[in-house]
């Protein structure tokens, strides 16, 4: 039992250290030993990414290290995915559609939020950058998303964010809209009609839990 | 053409010691009457109290609106850009001129494809990055920035502004730091990962970029700017760790700023990241002034900032961008007054936004910032 647990701890460590190859091979090893993909993802990969998020919050590590950890997590997920059966999927996962609004190409912050939400068990539909409002609306409807997460780093694209938020608020059912990015604050978020704002990728999960629960 | 005389083709400028002495005289003069913007800024930068706190509304792309020109013209045409900056000074006011266009200038001349939106800041086409793999860093090539399209434009803009400013306004040139230039050609995410996985390959690219930027600094100094500001965004908690910055950018920016000083101009920094590493940047670049948007990572409030750094480097900031977008002019003046009271005493403070004045936002808050310096910034500050 202890050895089995050690394997999950090693997977967690591989994510924290940003070791892509190690994460993938340890996940394969764990699958061969009979671990379920969910257990590996929850107790190994996500746990590692969660810890990375906390270290980021405490400024003990920074974007480059977080990106490397995300690569390792994704390598592990890729190893596990072929073994996932549809009945294994937890039914309560919420779907988040995420992207950078039209006119803006800065996506690193959005990518970090995307990774952290994935690690926390959300289904994330990432539309990338420079995304028109219409595309966001179509994806929210198609995915039945409970949450729309928008990012922009420029003041010149704030009007596009406002337009996207307004479009989302007019949808039925209405998704929860959260926003982030350099020119934003709680005040700006409220002004453009968003339900929540967060400036730290590692804390977006907490924001969502507070808003959704 | 510069206001400074040339001997053997080289500009003859006052030494830092002479400027420092001048600053004391300006401060003295400021007690008797109104100073010229250049005198005001120099006195403040060297920790003397001028007649009032210097101020700049920090327009870059937004300046184009004052001359009624397109973003593309502003980005590519030095005469029109100069006209824009001069119009800002004429209409809104402010104590400095600067030749800042946007952050894509340097990367464009290395060959990065740039998109010029009609109503927004030019940016790289990230669907076509110039550096597509770690092996591409070594394929970058050096060139003469004087003969390149966009850096050449900024050099010409600096020349025009220096000539127009005469001895009235200080003129500040601008260079995006080498790591920033690589981000524009590789994308931030890929570059950050490369810094950890392939540091030596990134350093090869940094060497090439730095060589061009050193020459770019020299060219800006040569047309008469009084100082050059480097943008070192990644030396902050929103960028990379202190250790990684020491390895990946510190040594390169040191060479650029040494060149600025060697050419007789002052060194300034702009860092609008969260929790900037003031101490580290001072160690590597020894600037006379830092413009910032957030408190440094080792300061909890304005009082600690003033205490810790107020006699080491002049502080320029830091009206929040989101406040400029959302708040009333009255509230902006209140924020400015609080900052003036906290950071202004003893000199060493310039009031300005923490980052570029939001280019498409209403202009009224720019007037509020300038007015706040005029009303609340008079020395002695109470």
CA distance B310 to B149: 39
pLDDT at B212 over 70: yes
CATH 3.40.50.280, chain A: domain bounds: 95-212
φ, ψ for residue A148 (rounded to 5)? -120, 120
Q: What is the tens place of the pLDDT at every residue in B333-371? A: 999 999 999 999 999 999 999 999 999 999 999 999 999
Among A129-143, B7-21, B172-186, the range scoring the smallest mean pLDDT is B7-21
Helix axes B364-376, B329-343, angle to 10 degrees: 40
pLDDT of residue B22: 86
Grade residue B7 by pLDDT with cuts at 50, 70 and 90: confident
pLDDT of residue A5: 79
Q: What is the tens place of the pLDDT at every residue in A151-163? A: 999 998 999 999 9
Chain A residues in contact with B195 by the CB 8 A cut-off are 64
- The beta-strand segments (E) located in chain B are 6-7, 10-11, 97-98, 114-115, 123-124, 171-176, 227-231, 266-271, 289-292, 314-319, 349-353
Q: What is the CATH number of domain B96-298?
A: 3.20.20.210
B322 → chain A, closest CA residue: A183
CA distance A161 to A186: 14
Chain CA centroid to CA B377, Å: 22
Q: What is the CATH number of domain A95-212?
A: 3.40.50.280
pLDDT of residue A90: 59
Grade residue A48 by pLDDT with cuts at 50, 70 and 90: very high
Class for domain A2-88, per CATH? mainly alpha
CA distance B215 to B259: 9
CATH 1.10.1240.10, chain A: domain bounds: 2-88
Q: Does B120 contact A at CB distance below 8 Å?
A: yes
pLDDT at B15 over 70: yes
A184 → chain B, closest CA residue: B322
DSSP code of residue B236: B
For chain B, the domains span 96-298
Inter-chain touch B239–A62, beta carbons under 8 Å: yes
pLDDT at A15 over 60: yes
User: Taking the CA of residue B108 as centre, how many other CA atoms within 13 Å lie in the half-sphere pointing to its CB?
Assistant: 20
B125 → chain A, closest CA residue: A105
pLDDT of residue B261: 96
B353 in Cβ contact with B58 (< 8 Å) = yes
Contacts of B23 (CB under 8 A, 6+ apart): B42, B43, B45, B46, B47, B48
Among the partner-chain residues B123, B297, B325, the one whose CB lies closest to the CB of A105 is B123
Among the partner-chain residues B119, B192, B196, the one whose CB lies closest to the CB of A156 is B119
Q: Does A154 contact B at CB distance below 8 Å?
A: yes
Q: Does A134 contact B at CB distance below 8 Å?
A: no
Grade residue A91 by pLDDT with cuts at 50, 70 and 90: low
Nearest one of A119, A117, A120, A121 to A148, comparing CA atoms: A117
* b/e sequence B88-111, b meaning 16+ C-beta within 10 Å: bbeebbbbbbbbbbbbbbbbbbbe
pLDDT at A71 over 80: yes
Which helix (H) or strand (E) element contains residue A99?
strand A95-100
pLDDT of residue B2: 58
Q: How far is A4 from chain B (nearest CA, A)?
A: 30
Average confidence (pLDDT) over A105-121: 90
B24 in Cβ contact with B2 (< 8 Å) = no
Which helix (H) or strand (E) element contains residue A167?
helix A158-169
A60 → chain B, closest CA residue: B241
To the question of pTM greater than 0.90 for the whole model, the response is: yes
- First vs last C-alpha separation in chain B: 43
Contacts of B213 (CB under 8 A, 6+ apart): B106, B175, B178, B181, B256
pLDDT of residue B24: 87
A101 in Cβ contact with A150 (< 8 Å) = yes
- Most B CBs within 10 Å: which of A62, A110, A158, as the mutation test of the B interface? A62
């Amino acid at each position: 039992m202890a050895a089995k647990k050690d394997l999950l701890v090693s997977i967690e460590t591989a994510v924290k250290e940003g070791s892509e190859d190690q994460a993938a091979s340890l996940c394969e090893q764990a699958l061969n030993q009979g671990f379920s993909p969910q257990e590996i993802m929850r107790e190994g990969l996500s746990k590692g990414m969660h810890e990375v998020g906390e270290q980021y919050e405490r400024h003990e590590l920074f974007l480059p290290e977080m990106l490397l950890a995300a690569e390792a997590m994704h390598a592990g997920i890729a190893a596990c995915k072929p073994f996932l059966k549809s009945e294994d999927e937890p039914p309560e996962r919420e779907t988040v559609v995420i992207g950078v609004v039209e006119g803006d190409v800065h996506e690193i912050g959005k990518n970090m939020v995307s990774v952290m939400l994935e690690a926390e068990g959300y289904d994330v539909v990432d539309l990338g950058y420079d995304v028109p409002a219409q595309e966001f609306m179509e994806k929210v409807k198609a995915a039945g998303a409970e949450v729309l997460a928008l990012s922009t780093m420029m003041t010149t694209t704030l009007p596009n964010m406002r337009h996207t938020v307004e479009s989302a608020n007019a949808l039925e059912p209405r998704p929860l809209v959260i926003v982030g990015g350099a020119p934003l604050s709680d005040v700006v978020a409220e002004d453009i009609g968003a339900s929540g704002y967060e400036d730290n990728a590692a804390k977006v999960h907490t924001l969502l839990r507070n808003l959704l629960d | 053409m510069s206001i400074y005389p040339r001997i053997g083709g080289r500009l003859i400028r006052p030494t830092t010691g002479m400027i420092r002495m001048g600053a004391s005289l300006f401060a003295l003069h400021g007690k008797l009457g109104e100073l010229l913007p250049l005198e005001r800024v120099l006195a403040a930068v060297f920790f003397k109290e001028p007649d009032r706190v210097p101020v700049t509304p920090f327009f870059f792309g937004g300046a184009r609106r004052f001359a009624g020109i397109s973003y593309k013209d502003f980005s590519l045409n030095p005469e029109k850009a100069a006209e824009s900056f001069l119009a800002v000074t004429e209409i809104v006011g402010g104590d400095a001129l600067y030749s800042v266009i946007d952050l894509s200038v340097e990367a464009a001349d290395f060959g990065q494809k740039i998109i010029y939106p009609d109503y927004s800041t030019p940016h790289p086409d990230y669907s076509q990055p110039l550096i597509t793999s770690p092996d591409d860093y070594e394929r970058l090539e050096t060139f003469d920035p004087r003969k390149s399209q966009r850096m050449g434009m900024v050099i010409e803009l600096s020349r025009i502004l220096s000539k127009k400013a005469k001895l009235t306004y200080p003129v500040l040139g601008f260079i995006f730091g080498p790591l920033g230039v690589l981000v524009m050609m590789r994308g931030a995410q890929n570059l950050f990962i490369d810094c950890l996985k392939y540091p030596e390959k990134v350093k090869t690219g940094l060497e090439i970029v730095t060589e061009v930027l050193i020459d770019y600094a020299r060219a800006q100094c040569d047309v008469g700017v009084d100082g050059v500001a480097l943008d070192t965004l990644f030396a902050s908690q929103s960028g990379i760790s202190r250790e990684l910055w020491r390895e990946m950018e510190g040594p390169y920016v040191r060479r650029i700023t040494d060149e600025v000083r060697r050419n007789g101009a002052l060194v300034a920094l702009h860092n609008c990241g969260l929790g900037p590493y003031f101490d580290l940047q001072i160690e590597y670049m020894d600037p006379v002034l830092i413009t910032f948007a957030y408190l440094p990572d080792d300061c909890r409030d304005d009082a600690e900032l003033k205490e810790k750094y107020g006699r080491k480097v002049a502080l320029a900031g830091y009206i929040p961008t989101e406040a400029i977008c959302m708040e009333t002019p009255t509230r902006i003046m209140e924020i400015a007054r609080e900052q003036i009271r906290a950071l202004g005493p003893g000199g060493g403070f310039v009031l300005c936004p923490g980052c570029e004045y939001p280019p498409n936002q209403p202009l009224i808050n720019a007037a509020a910032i300038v007015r706040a310096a005029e009303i609340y910034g008079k020395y002695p500050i109470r």
